[in-house]
Structure 1
């Protein structure tokens, strides 16, 4: 091989669990198309396993909400400075930023100021809040890749090259989600017991707010049927001792402690094994929808953050499945409504034969609306074309 051959270098920026997963899936696809490609940047364990040099770990930046960002401003600034310094010292050929909007927009703007092309994957939800942002998004991206086809005209009409690649979860869920019987066997659950999955999020701040509520709702559900089982999957970003301490600190009955188990990772396994789910609003709600498990969506954040969001948000729904459907097919309990008094009856409703049947029909419609798979292949092709230019 000619020693002067240039091997492309990419900076990835994935500040959340879903972005880390997408970066890890994208890296080997790029290696197939671009022999010798290397990558570094912001990511987590999955990115590292895929060969990306994570000079900043996503645990350093994984916060959500105005108050939480202000509280962690110092470490966010340090992470940004590290990445900006790497733009100057390592001069990547392409920057691929994945969601994590406010942080990644700042980083992308710095890259563009240095003449480094930027591929931005996952558009800001301008259809939900601050629609005027679309006209200025070319400040942050040379190419935008979007999840939903209706997003293309929102950005393309302002002159930004915008490509609908689709949603990666279609392929990932179909490839990785086990069958119900297999999932139950792996979790030591019998075929006939009622299983309820508790998924309070992948950030500590989410878990601190939602896990106690989910556990209290589980106590009530267990009181109605003492044979029910409850499973909490621990996200890879969460320290097991910290999570155990959160559960230990909760005011649980002895009966629930005996019927509650924590799994290492395997959120999709828990989704597949469960009859119903309590899920923190986010990507997990769409994963569960694609697996076909009935769910209740919940979320709590800082009061100031919530008040600001209420002022800015212009859509009726928070959960991704409901956003895609344009109606409330899945119960949403946000902020003051996310209480055991609301969540336990919601779960009881979808455990009924009629409730489960109605929600599963709606979840099938979510899958149909997302269209064909192959999103990561299309995204890799797009990145390769940008590098070729």
Structure 2
């Protein structure tokens, strides 16, 4: 069968195929949500590519597991270059062998841009979901993004003119987290019951990230901050979710290496998955910068954002970045409503002091009010349905 016929299955190919690439936890979640909508639009669809446990559970054949590519920062990428190249080679071989009707890449910018460029060079349409943050880095990058996408689906309405002015079809689909949080996040009482916490326990959630590198950099500081919080109130409880991508024994070993006191060991609960449950159950959070901060904001839990990277990576980022904040809640609000403690400022003492303020009724009130503003700025529900509509239209050759 020639490639042109294959790329238009509704005109003769009965079983469309899509390569989906999601290289981090949030993208894996989005891919899993998108897959059933795609199947509704495209009966008989098969999907394969890059993803994790949630993608597999949704029926996507993950020929590359996201653990192989889930690294952040220039130095970290260089250190893991061999495995990143192997993953890319596997996906490119699949493009040549299986000739999908469409490639959907979900965020994970640097890796997915390279994959998308290869797909376009082979004449395979590319739908890119989640725009690069050109408004934070270099706005002139927007004019060249048609090298990587035939259609760009964006989270925020202000991103549409940044790309469409350069001739790239761009659609605001909205932010998927709105419907995910509304559907899946438990209320405080339900979350606490599931975690065996009383309604009266003062609870702090510790979320050091879903990547090994993040955890290695932030976990010791979070544990040390928890020790200080426990010293000031021995009744406090601490809960840490373990992402599916993180091996339980590996995490236990790193916690042990932080040498928590016997008292903290008794007051600390590690739960499998369930990050949103931890967010809903907690009175305050210590949380790594990333998509999880937006989830916590939509749930409404006050937080302190922390971030650490390799020093060279951070220095380069500070040179290039064009915005004042790194936390998504603050970026969306345009002000620092949530404390951000970066690099050397992310000390146990400072984090503990920040959390202490949030654990008092007066201290948390202003942040809770700010977090309520965020929902109205993220668009309407139905992002996955709109994304599936775009994909089906592209396969049909209508866009």
Same fold (TM over 0.5): yes
Candidates 238, 244, 264, aligned match of 1:236: 244
Deviations 1:347-370 (A, max 9, x none): 011111112111110010011111
Aligned to 2:394: 386
Pair 1:177 & 2:185 matched: yes
Shift of 1:8: 0.7
How far does residue 258 in structure 1 lie from its aligned partner after superposition? 1.1
d(CA) in 1 for partners of 2:135, 2:278: 32
Q: Are 1:348 and 2:351 an aligned pair?
A: no
Rounded to whole Å, the distance in 2 between the matches of 1:370 and 1:97 is 21
Question: For the residues of structure 1 that align with 2:166 and 2:14, how far apart are their CA atoms?
Answer: 34
> Which secondary structure does the structure 2 equivalent of 1:192 belong to?
coil
The aligned counterpart of 1:187 is 195
Range that drifts further, 182-191 or 347-356: 347-356
Q: After TM superposition, give the deviation of residue 251 of structure 1 in Å.
A: 2.5
1: CA distance, partners of 2:376 / 2:358? 22
Separation in structure 2 between the aligned mates of residue 5 and residue 381 of structure 1, nearest angstrom? 19
| Correspondence 1:1-389 to 2 at 5 A | 5-389=13-397
Structure 1: 4+ residue segments shifted above 3 A: none
Normalising by structure 2, report the TM-score: 0.96
CA offsets 1:208-234 (integer angstroms, 9 cap, x no match): 000110010000000000000000100
Which secondary structure does the structure 2 equivalent of 1:74 belong to? Answer: helix
Q: Distance in 2 between the 1:117 and 1:139 partners?
A: 11
Tell me if the contact between 2:156 and 2:379 (Cα under 8 Å) persists in the aligned partners.
no
Give secondary structure in 2 for the equivalent of 1:372.
coil
Describe the SS at the equivalent of 2:222: helix
- Measured after TM superposition, the shift of residue 93 of structure 1 is 0.2
The 2-side partners of 1:197 and 1:331 are apart by 16
C-alpha distance in 2, partners of 1:136/1:355?
A: 45
Q: CA RMSD in A?
A: 1.1
For residues 132-156 of structure 1, give each alpha carbon's deviation from its aligned partner in whole angstroms, at most 9, with x where no partner exists.
1100000000000000000000000
Q: Unpaired segments of 5 or more residues in structure 2?
A: 1-9
CA distance in structure 2 between the partners assigned to 1:311 and 1:353 by the alignment: 38
- Is 2:240–2:269's contact at 8 Å kept on the other side of the alignment? yes
Q: In the aligned structure 2, how far is the partner of 1:179 from the partner of 1:187? A: 12
Q: TM-score, normalised by structure 1?
A: 0.99
Q: Report the CA distance between 1:5 and its aligned residue.
A: 4.6
- Alignment partner of 1:35: what SS? coil
- CA 1:117–1:5: 2 relative to 1, 3 Å: closer
